[in-house]
Amino acid sequence: MSAKSKKFVLLMTVMVTILSMITACGAPATEAPAAEAFTIGISNPFISSEYRTQMIAELIEVNKEYMDQGITTELVIESADTDVAGQIQQLQNLMAKNVDAILVNPGDVSGLNATLEEAVGKGIIVISVDQELNVPGVYNVGIDQKEWAKTSAKWLAEKLGGEGDIVQIEGFPGHPANVARMEGVAEVLADYPGMTVLATDTGKWDEATGQQVMSNFLSAYPNLTGYWTQDGMAIGALQAVMAANPAKWPQGVGEGRCQYLKLWQEALTLNPDFDSIAVANHPGVSPTGLRIAVNMLQGKKVDTTKLGGSNGLSFVLPVAAVITSENLADGLAMCEGKPDAYLLDDILTDDEVQQYFVK
C-alpha cells in the first residue's frame, strides 16, 4: 500500500471514530413507548341525591389526578335516573366504549348480575361502590351498610330505654344498601321486645318526600316516641317534627350532612331535650374505589386477607364520622367552609390504599 493510501485509510478511521462519539454523546436516545392510559367508567342510576352529586364530583377530581400523570383517560360517566333495564344499558354502553374498569353504584340487589358477569368475562375490572353485591368476580368498596344502620338503631333503642313506639322511613326498597340497612335495623330491634314498629314507609331517599311521610306519621301516631330513617330523608323528618312541634318530640336519627347538623343545632333552641345521632355514609368510598381500580389495573395483587363481605370480595371501609350530642360541635367544625349539602367525608389517598395490596 502506498503512503498516500495509508494516509487515506487513517483519515477515514479517525472520521468514523469521531462520528461514533458524536452519536453516542449527542444524539437523542430512543425513548421506550409510553404505557397506554386506562379508561374507567361509572354507572350511576340515581341522580336525585346530594350524595350522588358529591360522589360524581369527587370521582372526576380523583381521576384528574391520574389523568395529569398520564395513568388514566377522562372518566366515562353514565349517570341518570333510571330503572334496572336502564342501568343495564349504562353498563352495556361502558363495555362498548372498551373501558378497562367499571365502577357501579347498583340500583338493584340482583338485577344487574348477568351484565356484570359479562363485563368480568371480558376482562374488565368491576367494582360495586357504596352498595355490596354478591356477584362472582365483582369487588365491592364501601362501608358495611348493615352495621351503619345498626349503629343508629341501637342508639335509638337505648335512648328510649328499650321501650317505645317508633316508625321507619326507608329508602328505595330493593336497593342493596336499603335492603342491608333495614335488615340491620330489624336485627337490633329483635333484641328490644319493648320496641314496637307502628309503620314503615319509603321516603325514596328524598328530603321533601321524607318530610311528607314524617308529617303523615305525626298525624297518624300522635304519641310516637321515636323514628328511624336514613340519608337526606332525615332532614325532612326533623323539619316535619319542628314544624309540628308536638308537646313531646319523638327522638330520631339523622345523617352526617352539614345541613342536618345545623338543623339539629337549631332544633335544640326549640326543644333542648331533643337528641340525635348522625352516622356518616360518605361518598368518598367511590373515589377510593377508583384508586383501588387503578392499582389493580397497574397489576398490583390484592391482599385477600384484607377483604370481607358476604363473598370475601369487599374492601370494607370505616365510616368517616359518628356524630352524637357529645361531639356535635366537632361535626359542625367539619362543616366550616362547606356547603349545607356537603356530607362528612373521607377519601383514601393512593398511599393509603396500598394497605389492600400485597407488598
Q: Which grid coordinates are listed for 45?
A: 342510576
Q: What residues contact residue 10 under an 8 Å CB cut-off, 6+ apart?
A: none
Nearest CA to 100 out of 286, 295, 278, 328 is that of 295
- pLDDT confidence band for 352 (50 / 70 / 90): very high
Give the residue from 119, 116, 129, 38 showing the smallest Cα distance to 84: 116
Three cell numbers, residue 111: 338485577
In the structure, what pLDDT confidence band is assigned to residue 17 with cuts at 50, 70 and 90?
very low
Instruction: Give CA–CA dist 177/133, Å, rounded.
Output: 9
Listed by start position, the domains of the chain span 40-143+282-318+346-356, 145-279
For the full predicted model, state whether its pTM sits above 0.75: yes
**Residue 359 buriedness (CB in 10 A; 0-12 / 13-18 / 19+):** exposed
**According to the CATH classification, is domain 40-143+282-318+346-356 in 3.40.50.2300?**
yes
Question: Which amino acid, residue 132?
Answer: E
pLDDT in the model for residue 331: 97
Say if 40-143+282-318+346-356 and 145-279 have the same CATH topology: yes
Distances from the Cα of 34 to the Cαs of 37, 69, 71, 92, 123, in angstroms? 9, 12, 10, 29, 22
For the segment 312-321, what is each residue's pLDDT rounded down to a tens digit? 999 999 999 9
Q: Name the more confident of 196 and 19.
A: 196
At residue 13, the pLDDT reads 45
Residue range 176-227, pLDDT digits in tens: 999 999 999 999 999 999 999 999 999 999 999 999 999 999 999 999 999 9
Question: How high is the pLDDT of residue 48?
Answer: 86
* 133 CB-near residues (< 8 Å, 6+ apart): 106, 109, 112, 113, 116, 140, 176
β-bridge pairing 101-104 and 125-129: parallel
Q: Which three cell numbers stand for residue 339?
A: 356547603
Burial class (CB in 10 A: 0-12, 13-18, 19+), 2: exposed
Q: Is the pLDDT of residue 5 over 80?
A: no
The single residue listed with the C-alpha cell 373515589 is 287
pLDDT over 70 (residue 31): no
Confidence class of residue 6 from pLDDT cuts 50, 70 and 90? very low
pLDDT in the model for residue 301? 98
Residue 60 burial (10 A CB sphere; 0-12, 13-18, 19+): middle
Looking up cell 360524581 gives: 56
User: Could you write out the three-class secondary structure of the chain?
Assistant: CCHHHHHHHHHHHHHHHHHHHHHHHHCCCCCCCCCCCECEEEEECCCCCHHHHHHHHHHHHHHHHHHHCCCECCCEEEECCCCHHHHHHHHHHHHHCCCCEEEECCCCCCCCHHHHHHHHHCCCEEEEECCCCCCCCCEEEECCHHHHHHHHHHHHHHHCCCCEEEEEEECCCCCHHHHHHHHHHHHHHCCCCCEEEEEEEECCCCHHHHHHHHHHHHHHCCCCCEEECCCCHHHHHHHHHHHHCCCCCCEECEECEHHHHHHHHHHHHHCCCCCCCEECCCCCHHHHHHHHHHHHHCCCCECHHHCECCCCCEEECCCCCEECCCCHHHHHHHCCCCCCCCECCCCCCCCHHHHHECC
Higher pLDDT, 74 or 4: 74
Predicted confidence (pLDDT) per residue in 226-239, tens digit: 999 999 999 999 99
Tens of pLDDT along 95-144?
Answer: 999 999 999 999 999 999 999 999 999 999 999 999 999 999 999 999 99
Query: How far is Cα 143 from Cα 321, in angstroms, rounded to an integer?
Result: 12
Looking at the domain covering 145-279, what would its CATH class be?
A: alpha beta
Neighbour count for residue 340 (Cβ, 10 Å): 14
Is residue 27 very low, low, confident or very high in pLDDT (cuts 50, 70, 90)?
A: very low
- Please check the confidence at residue 8 and state whether its pLDDT lies above 70: no
How far is 48 from 72, CA to CA, in rounded Å? 28
Question: By C-alpha distance, which of 209, 196, 190 is closest to 167?
Answer: 196
What is d(CA 63, CA 91) in angstroms, rounded to the nearest whole number? Answer: 19
